[in-house]
Each structure stands twice: as structure tokens, then as C-alpha cells.
Amino acid sequence: MPALDQASLDQFRHEGYTVAEDLLDEELDIQPLVNEYTALLDALASRWRAQGVLASSYADLPFGQRLTRVLHEVGESWIQNFEITLPFRGLRRDTPIHLGPAVFNLMRSPRLLDAVESLIGPEIYCHPAHHCRIKLPVESLSEGISDLTGTVMCHQDQSGTLPEADHSNIITAWLAITDATVDNGCLILSPGSHLAGLQPHVVKIKRGKHAGTAVADEVIKEENLIPLPVKRGSVIFFTARTIHGSLPNETEDEIRWSLDLRYLPVGLPTGRPIYPGFVARSREQPNRELRDHKSWADMWLRARAEVAAGEPPEFFRYGGQAVLSTD
């Protein structure tokens, strides 16, 4: 029996997205990730406390409140310590990246891959463009420019890959690690927007810094966007051409935590050739699957050193639009 039923597959084809509720297993998928990130926050808070840049380690607070307090003091740019991919701008040989085994195992979760297989077939490649997003309450944001901690503007994922991948059938799996609500900043998207192809995008500049890319204002109408609140453990699947973004986190002290992972059929271009992906599932040649966490982590560390030593890459396509300031 396929992981996604026919109604879900039809919705994905016609509307560009579908929701798989309670797809992830709490004990096997989610809690190991939470434990891993809790240990990471412990280590970082202790280090920053010893360096004198943090007034307290805030060890008595729950994870979300603790992270909010820590980042408010040390700066939101330090969220890169929790990120599971590398940036393109300002990359150094020591730029932080989190490459823990719980993250790797979640990318290979059989429950997740069963659903992905329903959408793209049994030969599955894990794309290198994936993110850990821990959205902080708006009132706690000091820098307010990171789409890892703040609001994500409406865009299409295809705009962030080279043209070689335009027909690679890349899909996004958006994993809810906490409940995602309208209040704490759930995903929003435009159903059916994938049918119109790649739209013009603009660069957003805020306070003199790159704040992300978004579809041009004339492309999207607010009334066409729908919110997608989901419970912890649910997964939203959408295409690389589906216009999507997120709402702001308007709560007082609640984080909204999600991962977005991407997959495509084995053998097709990723559109980001400098960063490593891997074969997550192969029914035809199971020996091609990467099962070793250390090998995956080593690939990323090698890529970091190589990219930091060269010219910064550029993968975003702006459709000839001018840079737009939001100052």
C-alpha cells in the first residue's frame, strides 16, 4: 500500500502540495532530533557563557525559550550553528554546520521515504538544499533578517537552483518538529501556482543586508495564499514551483521548528552541484544507498573547504528584476 493515498497524489498534481498528517514517528524520528539539538544548545550555551558573551546558560528553561534568550543575547546570526546546509555568502572554512546523526537518520526515515517514493518513484536522491528553521517570536528578533529565525517571503524553490535542474522533479518535504499554527508562523502557499512555471523573483534588502528572495509583487495576490497549520510529526510536500512562504511568529515565547528537506529521482541534476547529496533509497541497486553518517558529514566538510577557497557561487535567478529594498 503506498504511503500517500490517491486523493493526496491527485492534490499534489493539481494543487502543487499535499499534507501527510502524523507521518513521522515520535520515538524514531522526532525525539532523537530534539535530543541532538538540546545537546547542541547545551554545548553552545556553555561555550558562550565561558567566553563572557552570554549572561547565563539558561539551563532551567525549555528548549524553545532557552534558544530564544540565547540568540537574543549572542545574535541571530549564530543560528547557523543549528543549520544543516551551508550559506553561499560569507562562507569560511570554519562556518558552522550541524551534521549530527539524528539529522542524517531523519533524512533517511523509511516513513518519509515511503511518502517520497509515492511522489517521485523508488530511486530517491537526497538533494543538498535542506534547512533547519527555528522561527523565533517577532518581539524577540533583534536583527530580523534571517529566514531561519524570521518570516520567509513568498518564493519558489526552483529560483534557487541552476537551470540544469528545471526538469529534475525536485520536491520539498516540510517537516513539523513542533506544532505549526497560524499564531506561531505556519507555512503559507498558493495552491495551483506550480502550473504557471517559474516566476520573476527580486532580491530583498533589509538594513543594508541580503534578506532573501521573493516572487515579484505583481505575481502573487494575498487572497490566493492559504495557511497550512499542522501538528508535530506531520509533513507538507510541495513542488519546486509552488509559491510558498510563512507567517510571522506572533506568540510571546513559543518557537516554530521545522525542517525542509528536498528529494529528486536518482541521476538528475540537483542545480547545486557544488554541495553533496546522496542516494537515500534505491530499489534497483540498494548497495548505492548511503547509510553511513560519517561519510555524509565528511562530504559536507570537504565541500565547505573547497567552496570557501574559491569564488562564491550564485544559484538564484531573479528574472531580470532589480534589487528591492525593504528598508
Cα of 29 vs its chain's centroid, Å: 17
Q: For 98-116, write each residue's pLDDT tens digit.
A: 999 999 999 999 999 999 9
Cα separation of 290 and 67, whole Å? 32
Mean pLDDT of the chain: 90
Specify the range with the lowest mean pLDDT, choosing from 148-157, 178-187, 231-240, 310-319: 310-319
Phi and psi (nearest 5°) for 210?
-65, 120
What is the predicted pLDDT for the residue at 221? 82
Handedness of CA 241, 117, 13, 222 (dihedral sign): negative
With a cut of 90, say whether residue 13 has pLDDT above it: yes
What is the predicted pLDDT for the residue at 76? 78
Cα separation of 122 and 294, whole Å? 24
- 322 band by pLDDT with thresholds 50, 70 and 90: very low
Q: For 214-229, write each residue's pLDDT tens digit.
A: 888 788 888 899 999 9
Other Cβ atoms within 10 Å of 92 Cβ, number: 12
With a cut of 60, say whether residue 145 has pLDDT above it: no
Q: Calculate the alpha carbon distances from 82 to 5, 30, 106, 145, 166 in Å.
A: 34, 16, 15, 16, 29
Q: For 72-90, write each residue's pLDDT tens digit.
A: 888 878 889 999 999 877 8
- 209 band by pLDDT with thresholds 50, 70 and 90: low
Beta strands in the chain (DSSP E): 17-20, 123-126, 131-135, 171-176, 187-189, 201-206, 209-215, 226-228, 235-239, 244-246, 256-265, 278-282, 324-325
Q: Which residue has the cell 540498494?
A: 286
With a cut of 80, say whether residue 158 has pLDDT above it: yes
Specify the range with the lowest mean pLDDT, choosing from 82-96, 151-165, 191-205, 207-221: 207-221
Q: 218: Cβ–Cβ under 8 A, 6 or more apart, which residues? A: none
Cα separation of 214 and 294, whole Å? 35
Quote the pTM value: 0.93
Cell numbers found for residue 109: 526515515
What is the predicted pLDDT for the residue at 83? 95
With a cut of 50, say whether residue 309 has pLDDT above it: yes
CB 139 within 8 A of CB 252: yes
Cα of 40 vs its chain's centroid, Å: 18
With a cut of 60, say whether residue 144 has pLDDT above it: no
* Among candidate residues 237, 88, 224, 240, the one with its CA nearest the CA of residue 156: 240
* Among candidate residues 148, 91, 159, 114, the one with its CA nearest the CA of residue 5: 114
With a cut of 50, say whether residue 327 has pLDDT above it: no
Percent of the chain with pLDDT over 70: 90
- 160 band by pLDDT with thresholds 50, 70 and 90: confident
CB 166 within 8 A of CB 232: no
Cα of 240 vs its chain's centroid, Å: 13
* Among candidate residues 265, 261, 245, 262, the one with its CA nearest the CA of residue 167: 265
Q: For 290-305, write each residue's pLDDT tens digit.
A: 999 999 999 999 999 9
With a cut of 90, say whether residue 3 has pLDDT above it: no
DSSP 230: B
Average pLDDT for residues 126-145, to the nearest whole number? 82
